[in-house]
Amino acid sequence: MKTKQDAIPTASNAKEIVLNFINALNEEDFDSARTYLNEDMVFDGVLGHRDGADIYMKDMKFKYKIKKAFIDGDDVCLLYNIDMGGKEKIFTCGRYQLQNDKIKKLKVVFDPRPVIEQSDKK
């Protein structure tokens, strides 16, 4: 029987959940990736906001190369390069907040200029 304490992710468990999520995205296993997200997860990024896991998954089909991971309880911070399909890889910081072993919130920050410049060329 799970106790309330069991529901709080440990640092290693939180890290494993987030890394499994990223690995599933990299392998284009979007159904598996979706299982790591809370139904009502919230995404906030430099170029937009998404409410809900299904809406988030529609747009986030990129490739990630993790450089460093920092863990603090149920928060995981990743520094990674993201391949968004353009010429340049975008160095990004993502903060993943977990609740009940699922990603509840994701906040990403990066310099958007290469993405905007690429978009302007199309």
Q: pLDDT, tens digit, for every residue of 72-115?
A: 999 999 999 999 877 789 999 999 999 999 999 999 999 988 87
Spell out the CATH class of 4-121.
alpha beta
Domain range list for the chain? 4-121
pTM, two decimals, is 0.85
β-partners of residue 97 are: 75, 105
Nearby residues of 59 by Cβ (< 8 Å), 6 or more positions away: 48, 50
Task: Please give the pLDDT value at position 25.
Answer: 95
Task: Please give the pLDDT value at position 4.
Answer: 46
